Amino acid sequence: MTGGQEGPGQDRPDQDSAARDSAARDQAARGHEQPAAGRGFSRRQLARHATWFGAAVALTVVGGEVTRHVVNDDHGDAATAGVAAAPDLRFVQISDSHLGFHGTANPDVTTSFQRAINQVNALPYRPDFVLHTGDISHLSTPAQFDQAKQMMSGLRTGMVYTVPGEHDSVDDGGRQYLATFGAGTRGQGWYSFDVRGVHFISLVNTFALEALGHLGTDQIDFVRKDVAGLSSDTPIVVFSHIPLFAMYPKWGWGTDDSATVLALLKRFSSVTCLNGHVHQLFTKREGNVTFHSATTTAYPLPHPGQAPAPTPQTLPPGKLAGALGIREVAYHPGNPALTVTDTRLA
């Protein structure tokens, strides 16, 4: 995702390989889940994927030009629309904006967040929704939440969803967060919804945290009832701030009772978990579940174990934008695997 040698993406898959990995996953998943599909059908679908990934990579490489072109044309680029078959569901994940942070790692997180928003608005399609996976604010102040809400109201999308991070519940158990973003949620801010056949579950694992994230029995009961009536071939997407897998428990990068929730989702053929918190890209597959940690719009954190503590990393001049980014997620009916494309800030 970043070309910077010192950037946190150094060991991570770059845009091309991430896309290839996704394509390979898609292909494997399709072969497994749809053995009855004709070879021609599969090949055609794969060709569409390849074309779409090609366009995505081009967008990364020449982000600035594409951005200007699309912004000048409200109806989108006809040529692009022609080669890229529109998936049925597309949304964008942004994360860890830390509005109110002041430090050398990013002296202007507000401008970085605005650039991320502009980049979403410059996509050649209008996402069905935009998801923020937490640490929207740095210190949960009313001013920081108001600013975040105002900025996100400028997103060109159908809906904005959020989950809170631990920075969104500093000193108040999440009251200010819930007052700003909690409308329509259940319990302590969790909720679920459906878009075009995909079931989304937004979880809160930062309100009762100790060293690790924590969901609690009320929330686990919510998930149990929430998925009880769903057919096992319903694609499930789970949002949380802290990873639901043990990415690096020593730094708190895990959730102590996530196994209970994942057990409830074991019968589903496709489960995708999207999280923030770790400020870097990371993908892992465990059984039927694929986990994708997103990067940040604010500042990078070190790779697990490569620093004494997960403290904000100040990169050499010019390298910061390469560590920040947005994530596009697409779902094609009939293909249980979601396509995840991470793009650095242009």
Partner 1 sequence: MPAGARASDPAAQAPVSGTTVDIRNFAFSPANLTVRVGTTVAWTNRDADAHTVVSTNGPLHSPTLNTGDTYKYTFAKAGSYSYLCSIHPFMVGTVVVTA
Q: Which residues bind partner 1 (CB under 8 A)?
A: 101-104, 138-139, 166-167, 169-171, 208-212, 250-252, 308-312
CA separation for the pair 80, 98 (Å, rounded): 34
- For residue 308, the minimal CB distance to partner 1 (Å) is 8
Q: For residues 154 and 110, is the Cβ–Cβ distance under 8 A? A: no
Nearer to partner 1, 237 or 298 (CB): 298
Closest distance to partner 1 from the beta carbon of 103 (Å): 6
Cβ proximity to partner 1: between 4 and 174 the closer is: 174
The single-letter code of the amino acid at 237 is V
Quote the CA–CA distance of 84 and 286 in Å, as a whole number.
31
C-beta closer to partner 1: residue 241 or 319? 241
Judged by beta carbon, residue 232 or residue 311, the one nearer partner 1 is: 311
Residue 161's H or E segment, with its range, is: strand 160-162
Query: Considering the complex, what minimum distance in angstroms separates the CB of residue 112 from partner 1?
Result: 17
Nearest CB to partner 1, comparing residues 129 and 299: 299
Least distance to partner 1, CB of residue 5, Å: 25
The nearer residue to partner 1, 254 or 336, going by C-beta atoms, is 254
Cβ neighbours of residue 56 closer than 8 Å, sequence gap 6 or more: 15, 19, 328, 341, 343
Shortest spacing between CB 334 and partner 1, in angstroms: 42
Cross-strand bridge partners of residue 199: 194, 236
CB of 137 to partner 1, least distance (A): 11
Quick one: 11 or 210, whose CB is closer to partner 1?
210
Q: Whose CA is closest to 270, among 205, 334, 195?
A: 334
155: left (phi over 0), alpha (psi -120 to 50) or beta: beta
Residue-wise over 68-104: b if at least 16 C-beta within 10 A, else e?
eebeeeeeebeebeeebeebebbbbbbbbbbbbbeee
**CB of 312 vs partner 1, minimal distance in Å:** 7
Which residue, among 172, 108, 164, 114, has the nearest Cα to 137 in the 3D structure? 164
Q: Which amino acid is at 225?
A: K
